[in-house]
A and B are shown apart, each in its own frame.
Chain A
């Protein structure tokens, strides 16, 4: 059974561009959460989606948006990229409560 898959694994973007990150949850999991991890820190919560509805939003600007599709996969979009958006973006999959399993992340570098 496949784990949580994220794509791409690495990405380099220029300031001002936008980026779309993708996540496929574990089969049967209906909840997807997104986290940003800056080097040397713990992950920071961005969004949670459950059954295609937003269940939670962290303290991130409106440049960050996300959505969940009928197959429970999810996209995280970031517009008008800033240098400070450079980070590891992690996706977590769960049934909605209890154990959450993370993907390997997408390393975003903004230059």
Chain B
């Protein structure tokens, strides 16, 4: 069974608005990473947050991590049409293995 679960499954917003996606997981982690997938192909690494971090920023991206609730959120501010993609969170296990568990993703549509 998949550990990471993104919520919502689909999100549609207007350009300029903010988009928030959530991810829940089940077991202890070392890191949580967010990825973007365009057009069902390219997987782009967005940001990594370690289990001892609570918040991280990268450009228009803000990621939070709450290990007590086993959840993370990705906020994209001032969205653009180019942000239209599927977003996935991936968690790795305590053994530092790279056997990431992905959720089904959130499909974000940013309308011009």
Query: Which B residues have a C-beta under 8 Å from some C-beta of A?
Result: 2, 4, 30-31, 33, 35, 40-45, 48, 88, 90, 92, 96-105
Contacts and interface: CB of A to CB of B under 8 A. Distances in A.
A86 interface: no
A12 interface: no
Interface residues of A, number: 30
A45 interface: yes
Given A88-B40, A99-B33, A102-B35, A33 B100 contact: yes
Nearest to B103: A42
B101 A45 contact: yes
A102 B104 contact: no
Contacts of B42: 102, 104-105
A8 interface: no
B35 A48 contact: no
B9 to A, nearest CB: 10
A18 interface: no
A56 B98 contact: yes
Interface in A36-57: 39-45, 48, 50, 55-56
